[in-house]
Amino acid sequence: MTLLAVERIKLLTTRSPWWCAIASIVLAGAFTALVVGNASTEFPASVATTQYGYQMGLAVVMVLGALSVTTEYRFNTIRTTFAAVPNRAAVLGAKATVVALLALLIGEITAFSSWGLSLLLAPEHDLALDSTADVVNVAGVGVVYAFSSMIAVAVGLLVRHSAGAISLLMIYGLAAESMVQLIPGVGDDIHKWLPFNVAYKFLTGEGESSGGMTVAGPPLSTSPLSPGWALAYFAGFALLLLSVAIVSASKRDA
């Protein structure tokens, strides 16, 4: 508990978490407003539409996760931390936990603020959370943000440089997974099992929250897993990558 408290103080006494939280909410809300504001009877808004901008917030949260680690390496404060607590695995595990909890909170605020904004912009459309799929599509965003932040922390530990870690995360998260589909023959098969594609399957399932219309939201995930197994797969990937990063950091010089 002491390590968690220390990491919480270290994280929340800097400006980056607050700016990242604001940026996540504003970016996702702005993109959602743009889409929902143009909804019509021909292309109605749905619960899935209210989360159209979730990837914008996700990118910001992953930047936050990477910076929580790389800034300590940049200013060498990580050495002081490891000198005070020689158990590096415990320190880094506490850091990842605190970042994940903050990302969870940011994700929930982002998702529900986008949904609430959509209710104001399109009150005539059916945006009620009246099914399990609808609730998961909104409330599940925070869960995806939490595990994504763990991936970002892991990348930060492995790369150690802010620019490099952030560039790698942005390129992969925003472009690389989609580009894999362009590989002749095997691209689609590989894409089915890539982590963020699988995470999106947890959020959207078979499209129930979009009313069965792909035009009412981003393209559905191609993952063959059920939403529950998709979450387990994504969580397992995040925890495995984080474990590898912690073991690596424990063996390398600070």
Mean pLDDT, 10 residues at a time, the chain of 254 residues: 83 86 92 85 82 90 94 87 86 94 96 93 86 91 96 95 92 87 89 93 82 59 92 97 94 74
The confidence score (pLDDT) of residue 169 equals: 93
Its pTM stands at 0.92
Using alpha carbons, select from 54, 136, 147, 63 the residue that is nearest to residue 104. Answer: 147
Instruction: Using DSSP, state whether 43 is helix, strand or coil.
Output: coil
Instruction: Using DSSP, state whether 75 is helix, strand or coil.
Output: coil
Amino acid identity of 66? A
The confidence score (pLDDT) of residue 254 equals: 60
115, two tokens: 């949904």
Amino acid identity of 185? G
**Rounded distance, CA 5 to CA 2, Å?**
5
**Rounded distance, CA 58 to CA 35, Å?**
18
Cα–Cα separations (whole angstroms), residue 215 to 50, 89, 224, 253: 13, 45, 21, 51
DSSP state at residue 214: G
Using alpha carbons, select from 131, 117, 105 the residue that is nearest to residue 53. Answer: 117
243, two tokens: 């474990």
**Rounded distance, CA 100 to CA 70, Å?**
16
**Rounded distance, CA 137 to CA 200, Å?**
9
The total of structural domains in the chain comes to: 1
**Rounded distance, CA 148 to CA 187, Å?**
23
**Rounded distance, CA 55 to CA 129, Å?**
21
Alpha helices in 13-87 (DSSP H): 16-36, 47-50, 54-74, 77-84
Residues 6+ apart with CB under 8 A from 23: 57, 60
A 10 A CB-CB count for 69 gives: 27
**Domain extent for 51:** 2-251
A 10 A CB-CB count for 52 gives: 22
Q: Looking up tokens 């749905």, which residue turns up?
A: 46
Indicate the burial class of 193 (C-beta count within 10 angstroms; 0-12, 13-18, 19 or more).
middle
Amino acid identity of 24? S
The confidence score (pLDDT) of residue 1 equals: 65
The confidence score (pLDDT) of residue 205 equals: 85
